[in-house]
Structure formats: C-alpha cells, structure tokens
Amino acid sequence: MSGGEEDLAAAWGAALEEEGAAGAAAATAAPAPDATRVLNQAEIDSLLGFESGPAGPAEESGIQKIISSGLVSYERLPMLEIVFDRLVRLMSTTLRNFTSDNVEVSIDGIVSLRFADYLNSIPLPAMLGVARAEEWDNYGLVVVDSALIYSVVDVLLGGRRGTAAMRIEGRPYTTIERTLVERLIGVVLADLTAAFEPLCPVTFSFDRLEVNPRFAAISRPSNACVLVRLRVDMEDRGGKLELLLPYATLEPVRELLLQQFMGEKFGRDSIWETHLAEELRSTEVALDVVLDEQVVPLAAVVSLKVGDRIALGVAPGAPVRLRCGDVALFEAELGRRDQRLAVRISRELERHRGMGG
C-alpha cells in the first residue's frame, strides 16, 4: 500500500472514532425516550424486600406495600372505634373494682394485619385466652403479656405498692396464676359484651386458655384481623393486653359497623319517600275484567272470521276476576248500570310474591 493510501485510511479511521465518541456522549447526555430500561440486581432485590443493608423501621419494600394494600383497613369500620372507646371506659371502672387499685386503661393503637403475622409477633411468655362470640358463632383472642400477668397476680394476692412485681423467667405458669388470669379475661370479655350491646346483642364467653400460640389458631393464617392494643397501668405496675377479632367474626355486623354514628340509616330521605307515596297514589292503572279463560287450538284461532261467536263457559251471575297485568287483585260480580257493564268488588284476592304479586 502506498503512502497516500495509508494516510487516507488513517484519516477515515480518525473520523469514524470521532463520530463514535460524539454519538456515545449524546446518548449519555440525552438517552432516547424509547430505550428499554432493565432493572439491575440491586433494584430487583429492593423491590422484593431482599436488601442486604439495614432498613429503618419505617421503611417498607415494594412487594410488602402491595401485600399490605390488600388488607381491609379498620378505618372503613367507623363504629368499631366507638365500640373500643366504650370498652376502655368500661374496663377502667371494672378493673378498679376487680383489683381494688387505681387502674388506668388506654388504647395504644388499632391496626389491621394478617392472623399469622400476629401469632408470630406475640412476645412469649404470654397467656392467650380464646373467646367465643355466641351469636356470631366465631372466635376472638385476648392476649395478656407477662408483665400484666405478674402485676395482676401481685395485686390480687396483696403485694405492697411501690415494689415491682417479681417475675421468674423460664418456668411455666402455676395453677394460681392461670386461675387469676382467667378471672381477668372473664372481666374483659364481660366489658366487651357490654361495649357491643348498644350496637347489637352479642355474648363473649371464655372458651379456653393457651400458652402456646400454635394452639390458639382461631382463623386461617392469611385471614385479616383487627388488633386492639390496650395499656393497663396500676400506678407503678401494669402491662399490655391485646384483643384480636378476625374480620370473619365481625362479618355478621359489618353493615352496622359501617355506620358513621349510632342508629344511622343510609339512603333514608323522608321528604322523597312522602313525595313518592303521593305520586304513586295518583297513578292511573288499567284493570282488566276476566270473564272466562279458554285454551283454544291455534287452527281454530286462525279460522276465526268476522261474525263468529265465542261461547263463554261461565254461568250468569258467576263471579269474575279483576286483574292488573298478570296480577289478580279482586273478585267481583258482573252487572249493568246506566246502559254500561259494571262490576261490584266482593273480596280481595291474596297476592303471592312468587306469582308476580
């Protein structure tokens, strides 16, 4: 290759390299709008919640947000908050009488969550009381944590004030402790029954007491539940008490819990109802007097001519029926008045819903 050809090839190569560098810079500065973007591994892990780095308590992965969005929020049941507020006021009074001490009950929070998530989050040791809603034929849970268990036992057995309840970890609960906690749960369930009483009659009865969450499975793991966290303070002692009600348990009274206030009736407008009733009373309807009904072959109907007569199989003076459309309303007698045929209603016929009435 001659020297001139080598110089020409070098010039072409330099020009192509400059064009490639310019194109890459332009693509970096302004990517094409139709370019397909592919997620890298870090973004995929972040979406699925598999980040290796420490995540803060308020952070939530994308897939967790999708799953939690399927939960039915308790905020859609406004009357439930009123019931729980009434429960707190009732428990403050009954627990004072039960313990003969100054007791303060408050709500720490109301949340919606899956049943399996709650069972896995129960701090052990604890006592789980299974309660049965008699009228709803379903169950709920009352969970008492260890701090409240020892505090109640200490108060009921005459422990002195100002001293923290002594707790021995790693041992099963004694018969006395279980009996006293059963009495406490019975008091709470009686107050829960009274809290629901203005809304609907229901009786919460104590079914059994468990210390292992696996034996307190009252619902399927994926079912949604409402959890109420209550704080019970007895001066320098106290603990937490949690009440869990599956949405399946509340389903019989879901319409009542949707109310914004007690006694609310949706869609009720007395002015419109009065106007509609007045208009219906002035509506004109056509009544047909049925003298006779016969089954005639189609050939006979087709062969009818002007002047033919159809004999009615009804004796003179026999009762006839008045109908509105297909609904028979009255039985009447046929007669004549002022050169016109007339009917006199003798009795009203019973109308059945299944027959168009």
The verdict on pTM exceeding 0.75 is no
Burial class (CB in 10 A: 0-12, 13-18, 19+), 192: buried
User: Per-residue pLDDT for the chain (357 aa), expressed as one digit of tens each?
Assistant: 555 666 666 666 666 566 555 555 544 544 554 456 777 777 777 766 665 554 444 455 566 666 555 555 545 777 888 888 889 999 889 988 888 888 888 888 888 888 888 888 888 778 889 989 888 888 999 998 888 888 888 888 876 665 555 555 666 788 888 899 899 999 999 999 999 888 888 889 988 888 888 888 888 888 888 889 999 888 778 888 999 988 888 888 887 777 766 554 545 667 888 888 888 888 888 888 887 788 888 888 888 888 888 877 777 677 888 888 888 888 888 777 777 778 888 888 877 654 444
User: Where are the alpha helices (H) located in the chain, listed in sequence order?
Assistant: 3-29, 41-48, 62-69, 78-99, 115-121, 146-156, 175-196, 247-250, 254-257, 270-281, 298-302
Q: What is the dihedral of CA 253, 255, 258, 262, to 10 degrees?
A: -80
Other Cβ atoms less than 10 A from the Cβ of 26: the count is 11
pLDDT in the model for residue 190:
92
User: Going by DSSP bridges, is the β-strand pair 204-210/126-133 parallel, antiparallel, or unpaired?
Assistant: antiparallel
pLDDT at position 15: 61
Record the tokens describing residue 165, joined without a space: 């309840």
- As a whole number of angstroms, the distance between CA 143 and CA 125 comes to 11
User: Is-contact 258 81, C-beta < 8 A?
Assistant: no
Which domains, ranges and CATH numbers included, belong to the chain? 74-161+171-257 (3.40.1550.10), 285-301+312-357 (2.30.330.10)
pLDDT at res. 57: 45
Give residue 299's identity as a one-letter amino acid code.
A
Q: Both tokens of residue 137? A: 């034929």
